[in-house]
Structure 1
């Protein structure tokens, strides 16, 4: 898969190196050519000097073939502009932006742009949002084999009630994070695109439940 990263700072370089080491195709965009010195000499990806929201620079980086895009420069405005251009102009669905201002982050979440704030910001968090089929076990009880799992819901689940997912996959949704707000689960609550769901599940059932959220609902689930 191909990934495009805007910003060759410490985190951008770390992301690029990790993706490159996984065997993925990577392109890094930065307006300062000197920033690429953070990338090791054996880095196999592309280095593009330019603005991350400039369409020509994005095309040079292969945005039209990109699976995901990360905007991790040191400017909130630049990151969000780039994220919107990539999503709205080039149709890349997996887009994530680094945001310093938590008030702005809530606004951008409402625009459908997942954000990662500096307080909890790490390259691992960015990777989790960029890569497919990566689940996040936030709590595991070895005695009971119970796990609390954090997963981003596939857009095809939008409009389906949480209870449908719970009944089909032997889970219990604890809460949903939506546009910067936390919603406690209830039987009437339905999923919305880009929801982050936190649910309890037995260790043996976790993989099946996670895969269910990463694909469109099955026909029997749609009818419920």
Structure 2
């Protein structure tokens, strides 16, 4: 897939290098040609100097053949405008914009522009770690039957296998975040201090699952 990224700051450059490592072709757009230094000499994609909502600049970046577009510059207005041009003018299927103002993010989500509200996301993640309790829903299927949620675990689960917690709660732990990195657990994986459990479960079972995770084994 060809991916166009507007903004070559820390997020944009890291995203571009990650996408290239995954085998995608990448073009990065930035008004400041010096910003491309963050990509390093090994980056094989296109470096396009210009504004990410300018039609000719986007064409130079290969937007007409792009399957995805990310607007991650430092300006909310620029990101939203660029995302709308990519979606509405060039018909790019996968578009996302980074937004600093969470109030704007909610508005553009309703307009069909997926957004990442940086301040709100960071605050929510900090809150989850300062006051861990209950569950934080990540995803819900269209029927509302199945959800994926981060569920807080009692510290007494540390040292037990993932399979024991799954059996006790009747759920599937789809992933763990450990020391900042995601991993897929298996039946032999042992829970460690600080693990965050991302759990697939029936929505109707959430209260019961929260209670079992909170009580710990043997209760």
Q: In 1, Cα distance between the equivalents of 2:54 and 2:83?
A: 11
* Counterpart secondary structure, 1:70: strand
Runs of 4+, deviation exceeding 4 Å: 136-141
Deviation for aligned residue 1:67: 0.9
Q: In 2, Cα distance between the equivalents of 1:107 and 1:149?
A: 31
Q: TM-score when scaled to structure 1?
A: 0.58
5 Å-filtered alignment, 1:182-193, equals none
Query: Does the CA-based 8 Å contact 1:28-1:47 persist in structure 2?
Result: yes
Q: In 2, Cα distance between the equivalents of 1:137 and 1:93?
A: 24
Bigger Cα Rg: 2
Q: In 2, Cα distance between the equivalents of 1:173 and 1:63?
A: 39
Deviation for aligned residue 1:173: 4.0
Deviation for aligned residue 1:172: 2.4
Deviation for aligned residue 1:137: 6.2
Query: Does the CA-based 8 Å contact 2:8-2:38 persist in structure 1?
Result: yes
Q: In 2, Cα distance between the equivalents of 1:19 and 1:3?
A: 8
* Counterpart secondary structure, 2:19: helix
Aligned twin of 2:113 = 113
Aligned twin of 1:64 = 64
* Counterpart secondary structure, 2:29: strand
The answer to whether 1:34 aligns with 2:59 is: no
* Residues 64, 106 of structure 1: alpha-carbon distance in 2 compared, 3 angstrom cutoff: same
* Residues 137, 110 of structure 1: alpha-carbon distance in 2 compared, 3 angstrom cutoff: closer
CA RMSD of aligned residues (A): 2.6
Any stretches of 5+ residues in structure 1 without a counterpart?
122-135, 151-169, 175-183, 185-224
Query: Does the CA-based 8 Å contact 2:2-2:24 persist in structure 1?
Result: yes
Aligned twin of 1:142 = 163
5 Å-filtered alignment, 1:54-203, equals 54-119=54-119, 120=121, 138-139=149-150, 142-143=163-164, 144=166, 146-147=171-172, 172-173=202-203
Deviation for aligned residue 1:171: 6.2
